Amino acid sequence: MSTPILTVDDLIVTISSQPVLRGVSLKVMPGEVHGLVGESGAGKSTIGKAVLGLLPRTAAIPHGFVMFDGVDLPGMAEQRRRQLLAKEIALIPQDPMTALNPVKRIGVQMTWPLTSHLGMSRKDARERALSLLNEVAIRDAESVLERYPHELSGGMRQRVLIAMAFSTTPRLIIADEPTTALDVTVQRQILSLIRDLQTRHDASVLFVTHDLGVVAKVCDRVTVLHAGRVLEQGDCRQVIEAPQHPYTQALLGATPRFDRPGDTLAPVPAELADRLWSEAAAWDADRREAAR
Ligand SMILES: Nc1ncnc2c1ncn2[C@@H]1O[C@H](COP(=O)(O)OP(=O)(O)OP(=O)(O)O)[C@@H](O)[C@H]1O
């Protein structure tokens, strides 16, 4: 049995003293694509930020831990954590336009992490950037290196960011809704590309999405989150074919299918949402009681 690359254990995160994650546990295994799915406000991005050390100043972690390859990330000395994040953990962000610097050429943005974090020469970094652009199926890579972000389409920019994420050969990639800003056809291509590169580079991916259709397409295992609580977790196919929790069932009913685009979608019923929020409030009350 291999060791998880990422272990989140009974993690509580508060922001401005309000609970946002209520005891989340999950494991990402080597070579696995792990989906983190839930509606807006479920706490998906907060988990990604806790891993990347990007929680806001008003956040606190009163309980639990986030271990990368056996080392507690939030407890790590700042410099060591930065080194680790620069080489071993990468982010594919949601919005490719804001993630790229508008006033710097693609080539400069792609080669900088390679020269500064991996100590590569400029020539080698350029070679690597070219080879990665080829891997993400960008034609005429030489000329793309000379262009500015606004000169590329949304799908091209996302391909560049995927190439950048894989450039330092990280062991873990956090993909935060990487296809939300793209239209459906491009979305499919980008999902296949992420899966393809993940397999080729033998990386693990924590894939944040609100869309179970996306999970079905790329993930091996999935964690379903609501109000910062894990409601269901397991093998992706099992969870999608036979969801156990009523919320997962409702989420599936609200999910457009790639293969059935004309289906009518049912929203998550209000009574169920109310019940889940009451459970979250009860969790908060129990915790306050325990802290007394
Ligand atoms: N900087 C912040 N200040 C205050 N509250 C925050 C902050 N960041 C997140 N939150 C709150 O934490 C909760 C979880 O937010 P988070 O962004 O993790 O959810 P999410 O599941 O990723 O949602 P989305 O899909 O909309 O990005 C929300 O209630 C949100 O309002």
* CATH number of the domain where residue 77 is located: 3.40.50.300
Look at residue 106 and tell me whether its pLDDT is greater than 70: yes
Q: How far is the CA of 228 from the centre of ligand 1 (A)?
A: 10
Ligand 1 atom nearest residue 45's Cα: 22
Domain holding 46, by residue range, is 6-90+177-287
**For tokens 């080829």, what's the residue?**
134
> In a 10 Å sphere around its CB, with 0-12 CB exposed, 13-18 middle and 19+ buried, how is residue 65 labelled?
middle
Ligand 1 atom nearest residue 49's Cα: 18
Reported ipTM: the value is: 0.93
In a domain, 114, yes or no: no
Rounded to whole angstroms, how far apart are CA atoms 128 and 165?
13
In a domain, 259, yes or no: yes
Ligand 1 atom nearest residue 228's Cα: 14
Residue 25: predicted pLDDT: 97
Look at residue 261 and tell me whether its pLDDT is greater than 70: no
Measured by CA distance, the residue closest to atom 31 of ligand 1 is 41
In a domain, 70, yes or no: yes
> What integer best gives the mean pLDDT of the chain?
89
pLDDT band with cut points at 50, 70 and 90 for residue 206: very high
The DSSP code for 147 is S
Q: How far is the CA of 198 from the centre of ligand 1 (A)?
A: 27
Q: How far is the CA of 227 from the centre of ligand 1 (A)?
A: 10
Compute how many other C-beta atoms are within 10 angstroms of the C-beta atom of residue 33.
Answer: 24
In a domain, 233, yes or no: yes
pLDDT band with cut points at 50, 70 and 90 for residue 163: very high
In a domain, 150, yes or no: no
Across the range 208-234, mean pLDDT stands at 93
In a domain, 217, yes or no: yes
Helices (H), the chain: 44-52, 78-88, 96-99, 106-116, 122-135, 141-145, 154-167, 184-201, 212-218, 236-241, 246-253, 270-291
In a domain, 266, yes or no: yes
Q: How far is the CA of 155 from the centre of ligand 1 (A)?
A: 26
DSSP 267-289: PPPHHHHHHHHHHHHHHHHHHHH
> What is the three-class DSSP state of 150?
helix
Q: What is the pLDDT of residues 55-102, one digit of tens each?
A: 999 999 999 999 998 888 877 888 888 888 888 999 988 877 788 999
Closest CA to 197 of 59, 277, 92: 92
Domain total in the chain: 1
Least confident range from 45-59, 85-99, 231-245: namely 85-99
In a domain, 144, yes or no: no
Q: What is the pTM of this model?
A: 0.90
Measured by CA distance, the residue closest to atom 3 of ligand 1 is 15
